[in-house]
Amino acid sequence: MSEHETVTLWRPTGPEEVALVEESGWKAWPPRLPEQPIFYPVLNQEYAIKIARDWNVKASGIGYVTRFEVKRSFMDRYEVHRAGGETILEYWIPAEDLEDLNRNIVGKIEVVSEFP
């Protein structure tokens, strides 16, 4: 495995979180709130779209799908969890590990879809 190998992750999110990511220069996820002990990036775009469209739009009027790359050597510390069907896969990153995850992002976090 190359030290430069990455994992592509997707994150459905609302406008507040996207604004905080933009403030970081599109390089970092904001710290979790006390009621958010886990950061949940997902492994495929279709699942992220479903969450953004079905949940984020209802909750805040708009939903975004973001894409970002993380060093595989970092992500190998975590198990992939199946949160439903065969393609409903996500990582469960403890909130206290989020700064480490941010340091292992390669490139920038990109907004790839928006649902009004």
Instruction: Tell whether 98 is covered by a domain.
Output: yes
Instruction: Tell whether 87 is covered by a domain.
Output: yes
Cα–Cα distance, 68 to 108 (Å, whole number)? 6
What CATH number did the domain enclosing 54 receive? 3.20.170
Looking at residue 3, its pLDDT comes to 65
Cα–Cα distance, 70 to 43 (Å, whole number)? 12
Instruction: Tell whether 11 is covered by a domain.
Output: yes
Instruction: Tell whether 110 is covered by a domain.
Output: no
Cα–Cα distance, 34 to 4 (Å, whole number)? 33
The mean pLDDT value of the chain amounts to 95
Q: Which letter does DSSP use for residue 42 in this model?
A: B
Instruction: Tell whether 80 is covered by a domain.
Output: yes
How many domains does the chain divide into?
1
Range with the poorest average pLDDT among 5-14, 52-61, 79-88: 79-88
Q: What predicted TM-score, i.e. pTM, was given to this entire model?
A: 0.94
Alpha helices for the chain (secondary structure H): 15-23, 45-51, 57-60, 72-75, 98-103
Containing structural domain, residue 86: 6-105
Is pLDDT at 2 greater than 70 in this prediction? no
Looking at residue 83, its pLDDT comes to 87
Looking at residue 52, its pLDDT comes to 97
What would the pLDDT profile of 81-112 be if each residue is shown by its tens digit?
998 888 899 999 999 999 999 999 999 999 99
Looking at residue 1, its pLDDT comes to 59
Instruction: Tell whether 36 is covered by a domain.
Output: yes
Instruction: Tell whether 19 is covered by a domain.
Output: yes
Beta 63-71 vs 105-115: how paired, if at all? antiparallel
